[in-house]
Amino acid sequence: MVSVDDVRALALSLPRAYEVLVRDRVKFRVGRLVFLAFSRDETRMGCGFPKEERLAAIETEPDKFELPRQSDLRYNWIIVRLEALDAQEMWELVTEAWRMCVPKRVAEAHLGP
């Protein structure tokens, strides 16, 4: 299981990423784009995720993933239960969500091609 502090440490280590508090919710942005957001109780994390892969992830691991609320279905977004994540999965989800928001050259300079 990972904590909000684990996610925060990783997210803030990524170039151009910063933390904001919006309506009592912790969010991480690159510019004006949100790539991570926590529920108010900090048990769930929303993150950037390809729409075309979302249903497969939910069907494969329904105890870990869920759809975002109806109004957010149009976005590349998925909800993840923190208690179901291990450190490697968290790293992959956070870095891929961040990669969706930064220029390709920035992502490649930090993570490689």
User: pTM of the prediction?
Assistant: 0.92
Q: Which DSSP letter does residue 65 get?
A: E
Q: Which of 7, 3, 1, 4 is nearest to 91 (CA)?
A: 7
pLDDT score recorded for residue 32: 94
Q: Compute the distance between CA of residue 72 and CA of residue 61 in angstroms, rounded to an integer.
A: 20
Q: What is the pLDDT of residues 23-74, one digit of tens each?
A: 999 999 999 999 999 999 999 999 999 999 999 999 999 999 999 999 989 9
Section 84-113 average pLDDT: 91
Q: Which fold has domain 4-108?
A: Aspartate Aminotransferase, domain 1 (3.90.1150)
pLDDT score recorded for residue 111: 79
pLDDT at 98 over 90: yes
**Where exactly are the structural domains of the chain?**
4-108
pLDDT score recorded for residue 89: 96
Name the burial class of residue 37, with classes exposed (0-12), middle (13-18) and buried (19+) by CB atoms within 10 angstroms of its CB: buried
Q: Compute the distance between CA of residue 58 and CA of residue 63 in angstroms, rounded to an integer.
A: 8
Tokens 């108010």 locate to 40
